[in-house]
Amino acid sequence: MALLIGTDAGLYRVDDVPFERDDVEKVLDCEVVTAVQTFDHAEGVFVASTTGAYRSRDGGDTWEDLEVPLGDRFWHAGTSEVWSILATPEALYVGTNDPYIFRSVDDGETWAELKGFRELPSRGHWESPIDPHYARLRVLESVPGRPEQLIAGVEAGGIHISRDGGQTWLDRRDTIVDDVHHVLPITEDVWLAATGYLDHNLENLGLGHAVADGGLHRTVDGGDSWERLDVGNDFSYIRRVFIHDGTVIFSGGQEAPPAWVNDEHESALFESTNFGRDFERVSYPGEPHEVIETWAVHDGDVVCGSGLFDVPDARDDVEGRIMRRDDDGTYHTVGRLDANVSRIEPV
């Protein structure tokens, strides 16, 4: 089974795992990859990136530009970027920075903005690591068993909910104000959220304010309230959470990405076999600097990708790494590539 690897320098493919550097093929030149996903309700594989959204129906050999209407919204930064993508039985959705949500009901032929999302009361308080007016819509998810109920997570601006396919939205920033990176719906009402925070120095620089403390959070009432699971964890800047065979897994950094360029920065990997009541720190290749960004199941094995993705000034001594988790919980490297890994997806 092939594996698509999203990086900060485009999309790559390997035919199998493990692999050598010469086995890595670049299949899409799309700059920074922010999502690589397949869906039960749509044919092919989808990619979101800083140059747009794309779809392949042949395992990554060829790609079509979905032509999401990005526009020239930012006079200081050019066109906006696609940070999330979702397919439901009824529609395709993409989320951009600023942020906006677009929907297509004709399989990506045409797109329309969901203007109700623009009208959320807390929108004026949303920020981002780059600029206070440049928030990213990192998360678009649907709720299991409720395809019309959507979850949107903003970096940084909280989690918001629609119960009618995105026409209207409920502002939930007062329940979780963190820098939201990932939401993992498990059941209709139980979801996990991986969060970070804006750099705490931003407040002193006059570029915004630190938002919450990061960490891994859980709701058991469909987003009405949240509790933090990893209380006391120093590695609280978390990009993603993964569950496999009842084990909850996440990787976190001690600080936000601007600090990742320094040797003092450390990251860690944690696992829980009792759904978050306790977490155990686990060793992995690439520690203490590389942060694991993404997980998937490839031919029955858990694989993950790491690097220092989305860092303002990349480190020359850190490369992308693909790891495999053995049945005994041991992680080992199964492939390397030149760019930092953001997402992986078997095809």
pLDDT in tens, 252-287: 999 888 788 887 889 999 999 998 899 999 999 999
13-22, 30-39, 315-324, 337-346: the lowest-pLDDT one? 315-324
Dist CA 284 CA 217 (whole Å): 23
pLDDT range class, residue 211, cuts 50, 70, 90: low
Q: What is the mean predicted confidence (pLDDT) over 113-131?
A: 82
Would the pLDDT of 210 be above 60?
no
Tell me the mean pLDDT in the region 235-255: 95
Give the C-alpha separation, 107 to 117, whole Å. 21
Query: Is 211 within 8 Å of 179 (Cβ atoms)?
Result: yes
Provide mean pLDDT across the span 176-183.
Answer: 86
pLDDT interval class at 46 (50, 70, 90):
very high
Give 76's pLDDT tier (boundaries 50, 70, 90): very low
pLDDT, position 312? 72
Q: Is pLDDT of 304 > 50? A: yes
Query: Domains (ranges, CATH) in the chain?
Result: 3-346 (2.130.10.10)
Residue 136: both structure tokens together: 């990213």
Mean pLDDT of 296-305: 97
Beta bridge partners of 267: 253
The pLDDT confidence band at residue 97, using thresholds 50, 70 and 90, is confident
Sequential DSSP letters for 100-115:
-EEEESSTTSS-EE-G
Q: What is the pLDDT of residue 281?
A: 97
| The residue type at 323 | M
Query: Residue 141 to residues 29, 99, 137, 192: CA-CA distances in angstroms?
Result: 26, 16, 11, 12
> What whole-number percentage of the chain has pLDDT above 90?
71
pLDDT at 95 over 80: yes
Q: Is the pLDDT of residue 34 over 70?
A: yes
| Average confidence score pLDDT of the chain | 89
Distance CA 34, CA 41 (A): 21
Whole-number pLDDT of residue 271: 97
- 19 and 334 Cβ atoms separated by less than 8 Å: yes
Q: What pLDDT digit, counting tens, does each position of 214-225 carry?
A: 999 999 999 999
199 has a pLDDT exceeding 70: no
DSSP string, 146-178: EEEEEEEEEETTEEEEESSTTSS-B--TTT--S
Query: Using only C-alpha atoms, what is the Rg of the chain?
Result: 19
Residue in the structure block whose two tokens are 């006059």: 206
Answer with the residue of higher pLDDT: 127 or 270: 270
Q: How confident is the model at residue 124 (pLDDT cuts 50, 70, 90)?
A: confident
The predicted structure's pLDDT at residue 71? 63
In this prediction, residue 176 carries a pLDDT of 81
Shortest CA distance to 310 belongs to which of 32, 29, 31, 51? 32
209 has a pLDDT exceeding 60:
no
Q: What pLDDT does residue 226 have?
A: 94
Residue for token pair 């979101």:
48
* Strands 237-244 vs 33-39: parallel, antiparallel or unpaired: unpaired
Phi and psi at 315, nearest 5°, equal -85, 130
What pLDDT does residue 173 have? 86
Which distant-in-sequence residues (6+ apart) come within 8 Å of 321 by Cβ?
285, 286, 290, 305, 306, 307, 333, 335, 336, 341
Which of 64-78, 136-150, 230-244, 287-301 has the weakest average pLDDT?
64-78
- Averaged pLDDT, 51-57: 96
Confidence at residue 28, expressed as pLDDT on a 0 to 100 scale? 97
The pLDDT, as a whole number, for residue 75 is: 42
